[in-house]
Amino acid sequence: MKLLLTDSGVNNDSILAALVDLLGKPIAEATALCIPTAGYGGPNGGPFGPWRFVSGNSHCPMTGLGWKSVGVLELTALPGIDKELWTSWVREADVLLVNGGDALYLAHWMRESGLADLLPSLPDTVYVGFSAGSMVLTPRIGEEFVGWQPPTGGDSTLGLVDFCIFPHLDHPDCPENTTADAERWAARIGAPAYATDHRTAIKVTDGQVEIISEGHWKLFNSAP
């Protein structure tokens, strides 16, 4: 897959340009499926965040960018649907827009639904994550971001990339996400790790990582 792992959606010209580059065509010609599932999980989950995400009324722009079409893929519904049917929906989409919320809840339902197994077989699909929707592709999130408890415990996510993400760096609404907090988190995470602010995204193409930012970010535990 081609990845655009955003902190807070497609909220500036640099991130928008990166998205269009990954798509290889204008947004108005691209079809999207949005995945709201993460917004239901964790202690802060509920019905209102997923509605804002799906409807395009979120302050973190994803579904309201002017797509040719937008559909909803709710992962908790997929186990009851014929697999060939829903996988055809995914394969036909140009982009997957993945909501924020609880990363471990999202990882659980990506595995349970079968989507986690399908993602590596989609080389031309663009995956755009927002917050937890980005963190879910990393190896683990760290105990600081554990909300919903998976049946197996721990903080492991899908590991489709080899780095971890500390989101919402120095955001006024997240007083626990300071640079000092990120440094302590990174010291325990045991992998290359990016701390990103709300105007930053990580673009991954063929395993190559590029930081797209009009804000600030920091890399920890980089390889020598």
Please compute the mean of the pLDDT values over residues 11-21 and round it to a whole number.
Answer: 97
Kindly indicate the confidence band of residue 36, based on its pLDDT and cuts at 50, 70 and 90: very high
Q: Classify residue 200 as exposed, middle or buried by CB count within 10 Å of its CB (0-12, 13-18, 19+).
A: buried
At residue 223, the pLDDT reads 63
Compute the average pLDDT of residues 29-41. Answer: 96
The whole-number average pLDDT for the span 150-167 is: 95
> How far apart are alpha carbons 100 and 88 in whole angstroms?
24
pTM across the whole model: 0.95
Query: Does the 2-220 domain belong in CATH 3.40.50.360?
Result: no
What is the percent of the chain where pLDDT is above 90? 86
Q: Output Rg (C-alpha) for the chain, integer angstroms.
A: 16
- pLDDT value, residue 205: 96
In this prediction, residue 164 carries a pLDDT of 97
Is the pLDDT at 37 greater than 90? The verdict is yes
Residue 93: name the closest of 122, 114, 64, 136 by CA: 122
**What letter represents residue 78's amino acid?**
L
Q: Name the phi and psi angles at 165, rounded to 5.
A: -130, 130
pLDDT of residue 221: 87
pLDDT at 118 over 70: yes
Q: Is 173 exposed, middle or buried (0-12, 13-18, 19+ CB in 10 A)?
A: exposed
Report pLDDT for 224.
52
Gap between the Cα atoms of 110 and 182, Å rounded: 27
Q: Both tokens of residue 135?
A: 């963190």
Residues 71 and 88: beta-carbon distance below 8 Å: no
pLDDT value, residue 170: 79
Burial of 188 (0-12, 13-18, 19+ CB in 10 A): exposed
- pLDDT for 68 beyond 90: yes
Element (H, E) at 164: strand 164-166
Q: What tens digit of pLDDT does each residue of 170-213 get?
A: 777 777 778 998 999 999 998 999 999 999 999 999 989 999 99
User: Residue 80: is its pLDDT beyond 90?
Assistant: yes
CA–CA dist 177, 44 (Å, integer) = 17
